[in-house]
Amino acid sequence: MNDRILGVLGGMGPLASAHFMVRLTELTPAGCDQDHIPAILWSDPRVPDRTAARLGHGPDPLPWLLRGIRGLKAAGCGAIAIPCNTAHGWYDGMAAEGVPILHIVEAAADAAAKVCPAGGTIGLMGTAATLAMRLYQDRLEARGWKTLVPDAREMAEKVSPGIALVKAGRVAEAYAPLAEVACSLAARGAGAVVLGCTEIPLGIKAGPWEKLGFPVIDTIDELARVAIAWARG
């Protein structure tokens, strides 16, 4: 282990960022405390809702995001992981602060390449804002994949309510609606499904997700793996 300190800009939502810290620990090959990654979690749930902001219904979260970035920078963090997909819609503004930000979409794309060859189709689940901003579609299509997203009814009746259930702490209840949409994308031809909101893996993995019959890309886990690789140089 070296002296690299990881910053984690969290609180969006609190359970997802807390789970990221758990997975960062669990995925790190370590035999004792000292083998683990020095990390500082800035968890501020007061950041305005990212989806509401992008859809024109709420205040800009960027000032709050920058406050966290600057706090982590002042604490000596050499890179920052953000376990919130939608927050990456403000990536350029945050990156302008000069601290490298480990991009969750690129982490997911690298993982997708291991289970779905270029030219195949990848299903995408995420907040309405993440999909509207094409955070995943543009990057994945540039790398040679086709992409599929839930239809408007699935978003309104299944995905958005499923995300809200996780944020409300009703994680087990989120499995059924979220798994239904993931299965719908697979049935439409997706060779893998990206869980592109950090609440979605919590809901999907609250049920028998191993029996779904197709690969799912857990963006919390993939961001944690990239963070571990960065920390180990």
Q: Which residues are catalytic?
A: 84, 197
Distance CA 140, CA 75 (A): 34
Handedness of CA 116, 119, 123, 124 (dihedral sign): positive
Compute the distance between CA of residue 195 and CA of residue 202 in angstroms, rounded to an integer: 10
Give the burial string for 140-168 (b: 16+ CB within 10 Å, else e).
Answer: beeeebebbbbeeebbeebbbebbebbbe
Place of tokens 């990206």: 194
> What b-and-e string marks burial along 186-216, b requiring 16 or more CB atoms within 10 Å of the CB?
beeebbbbbbbbbbbbbbbbbbebeeeebbb
Amino acid at the residue 115: V
In the beta sheet, which residues pair with residue 213?
none
Rounded CA-CA distance 155/152 in Å is 5
